[in-house]
Structures are given as C-alpha cells and as structure tokens.
Amino acid sequence: MNSPTHNDDRELRVSKIENGTVIDHVPGGQALKVLAILDIDGSGGETVSIGMNVPSEKLGRKDIVKVEGHELSQNEVDVISLIAPDASINIIREFDVVEKSRVDRPTSVTDVVACPNRNCITAQDEPVVSRFDVLDDGVRCVYCDTIVRDDLTDHIHTE
C-alpha cells in the first residue's frame, strides 16, 4: 500500500513536464552525459530537470532526465543505450505518458561514435562513416578494432 505513494513522492522531487521526454533509470551520475549526447547545454532554452543519484531499487542509485519540448529520435535512443543500457524512455504529451519503452541496445551504431584512432580509415578523408559493434561494456570499431569504453561519451556525436 505504501510503496506507490512513496514512489510518487520521489517523482515529485522534479517537476512534471507538459510535453517532452523523461529518461529514467539512467545509471547514477550519468545524467549530464545523457544531456551531452542530446546536445543540450542550456543555451537552447529548453526546460530541463535532472534528478541525480536518486535511490532506486533496481540500480541502487539512478539519474532521471526530463526534457521539455523534445521527443527523442530512434538514433538518440540508440546512442543513450550505450551509456544507459537499463534506461526507460517516457514520451509525455499534455502531462500524460503516451509512450513508454525500454532502450534496446543495438548490435551496431553507425555515424554516432568518432573513432579515436587517428589512423583509422574513418578518420581520414575517405567516403566512409564510422561504424561500431556494440559490446557489453563498450563499442568496437568495425574498421580498426579500437575498443572505446570509459571515455565513450567523449567520442559520441549526434547530428
């Protein structure tokens, strides 16, 4: 009986949004990286709420990101899954959740991670875009085998 109320209280720590996206179950401390992936730094004027290190039964600590007026594209969801494999995406319209989904880790990502190997063919002036296979704990360049793990966010670019 107490549990739902308890959770509702937690949800209220960050205000509800009218239209946009709530990204829940982000690993604790990763919220700012999610915003970086979405290329949101506040300069665009979006209303953004972040809960960091909120107690979570599933993750121990989790982050929540709420972005007003922005519905995530599939490409953005794919990229977020790389750093937040357990995240759930809630699309909000007029204060209601109209769509709720878990992120689905793709087997590979194309043109979203820049290969840090300067000798990689994708880093040259060749007509080829980056492609990475997705591993359990990182990504691996299809062309030069470079594995990117801890500093993955630094190499992500979204259009």
- Would you tell me which residues interact with another protein (CB under 8 A)? 119, 121, 126, 128, 135, 140, 143-147
Residue 125 CB, shortest distance to another protein, in Å, is 13
Residue 154 CB, shortest distance to another protein, in Å, is 16
Judged by beta carbon, residue 37 or residue 132, the one nearer another protein is 132
Tokens representing 107 are 């087997």
Judged by beta carbon, residue 72 or residue 115, the one nearer another protein is 115
For 2, counting Cβ atoms within 10 Å of its Cβ (0-12 exposed, 13-18 middle, 19+ buried), the class is exposed
Sequence-distant contacts of 132-136: CB under 8 A, at least 24 apart: 132/108, 133/107, 133/108, 134/82, 134/105, 134/106, 134/107, 134/108, 134/109
Residue 85 CB, shortest distance to another protein, in Å, is 18
Judged by beta carbon, residue 52 or residue 147, the one nearer another protein is 147
